[in-house]
Amino acid sequence: MYKGYSIIPYNININFLKWYKISFICSTFLFIISILSIIFFGLNLGVDFSGGLLIEARTEEAVELSEVRARLNALDIGNVALQSVVGTDHTIIIRLQQREAETGDAAIQHTALSQIRQALETRIEFRRTELVGPKVGRELIASGVWATVLAILTITGYIWFRFEWQFGLGSMLALLHDVAATVGLFSVTQMEFNLTSVAAILTIAGYSINDSVVVYDRVRENLYKYRKVPLNVLLNMSINETLSRTLLTSVTTALVVVAILVFGGAVLQSFAVAMLWGLVVGTYSSIHIGIPILIFLNVRLLPSTQ
């Protein structure tokens, strides 16, 4: 009988659970490193969260950052950070952090924007300008945190309702691992953390749980079919049976994300990097966290319906 196309042989039997204790240790180490990095080094918050002014500018010829920095420092408008966009010498990102003032913050930033334009407009084309006040930045931080927490809780509740509580707890631990590892990546590399980064985290959570649901559904199906098979053997069999789907989904998604990374420009760079990292940790956690945790929780063998 034809079973459809598969890049993985149907009789494959990789023992994923053979080293599950080592995978737990590695996952715990990655989680702890991520949390410690966030605590001690923090995040490089973008203008979305910290407030301030961001300008994306482009020149017809290669630009020397030192020359632009000298021009802007001469304006005495505060701490100005410059960054060249990866893959081009013609585009730069100018960041002016929110200046400390009790009143008139927006007016100060608008004045700074005018000064920057006057200093550079004859040589540079301004392609994007963002201006965020400190109050809006704090509100966006709170909204981002709440969105992530509610997403994890809602997904956990769905898995709990759809399967068993052991599956719900396993999916929650896998999601916490993925979110912490992704935020930790931003902390370790000091990539800019902005609203697109939050979007990437939520997307990763959705991808990870989609991967877990596919494997969980096969686990539940096999629990009905093979009551006398040892649990670890049954779980390993379920992973192998869904391995082709997992790899196809990961590879095709990665191709799209790579295209975003190459052609999406500076705006989507952090999103694409986070997504690529999330594809790796999301696939890993579905197999090496979400499934082995069922052994520790001793998920019950369901009664046969036959």
Q: What is the pLDDT of residues 9-54, one digit of tens each?
A: 666 777 888 888 888 888 899 999 999 999 998 888 777 677 677 7
Q: Which domains does the chain have, with CATH numbers?
A: 16-45+137-296 (1.20.1640.10), 52-132 (3.30.70.3400)
What are the tens digits of pLDDT across the range 74-118? Answer: 776 666 667 766 555 577 777 776 654 434 455 666 677 777 777
What are the tens digits of pLDDT across the range 184-236? Answer: 999 998 888 887 888 888 888 888 888 888 888 888 888 888 877 888 888 88
pLDDT, position 33: 93
Q: At 41, list the tokens.
A: 């080094």
Q: CA torsion sign, 220 to 222 to 225 to 228?
A: negative
Question: Mapped to the 3 state alphabet, what secondary structure does the chain carry?
Answer: CCCCCCCCCCCCCCCHHHHHHHHHHHHHHHHHHHHHHHHHHCCEECHHHHCEEEEEEECCCCCCHHHHHHHHHCCCCCCEEEEECCCCCCEEEEEEECCCCCCCHHHHHHHHHHHHHHHHCCCCEEEEEEEECHHHHHHHHHHHHHHHHHHHHHHHHHHHHHCCHHHHHHHHHHHHHHHHHHHHHHHHHCCEECHHHHHHHHHHHHHHHHHHHHHHHHHHHHHHHCCCCCHHHHHHHHHHHCHHHHHHHHHHHHHHHHHHHHHCCHHHHHHHHHHHHHHHHHHHHHHHCCCCHHHHCCCCCCCCCC
